Amino acid sequence: MTYYDDSRAGGRSGRNAPRPIAEMLAEALRESGLDDDVNRAQMLELWPRIVGVQIAKVTQARLIAEDGTMVVGVKTHAWMQELTMMERSLVAKLNAATGDASVKKIRWELLHEPGPGRTP
């Protein structure tokens, strides 16, 4: 792993030429094989902004498996049915927002809210 870039030295040469931390971090993640995991985690964080307030209120993005399946919890059966019909457009929006095609499909799961006598 190289943390210096002679081509941007701006008068400096050798190992004293600084590189942006974001560039170094991206390289370290790529070399360690963690870049895909980080991209999937970012997608989960972006879920509410990508799908909008109304859908975000009734859903919870949980994980993205290595095969590209995003698992999303949904509050009601009615919403699950509606979102199932919207799946293609939601997958397209997710992938367009991140500039890659890491999400292949969405698996919807009913969220179980704790009620009387149930623990979270």
Per-residue pLDDT tens digits of the chain, which is 120 residues long? 445 555 554 555 556 678 788 777 667 667 766 566 656 667 788 899 999 999 999 999 999 888 999 999 999 999 999 999 999 999 999 889 878 888 999 999 999 876 666 565
pLDDT of residue 107: 97
Residues 6+ apart with CB under 8 A from 70: 43, 61, 63, 64, 91, 94, 103, 105, 106, 107
Residues 10 and 17: beta-carbon distance below 8 Å: yes
Reported pTM: 0.67
pLDDT of residue 88: 96
Give bridge partners of residue 32 from the DSSP assignment: none
- Which residue in 75, 79, 83, 78 sits closest to 107, CA to CA? 83
pLDDT of residue 120: 56
pLDDT of residue 33: 62
Classified as helix, coil or strand, 91 is: helix
pLDDT of residue 40: 65
With b for 16 or more beta-carbon neighbours within 10 A and e for fewer, the 7-24 pattern comes to: eeeeeeeeeebeeeeeeb
- Please state, as a whole number, how many other Cβ atoms lie within 10 Å of the Cβ of residue 46: 14
Domains of the chain (ranges plus CATH)? 1-33 (no CATH), 35-110 (3.30.300.20)
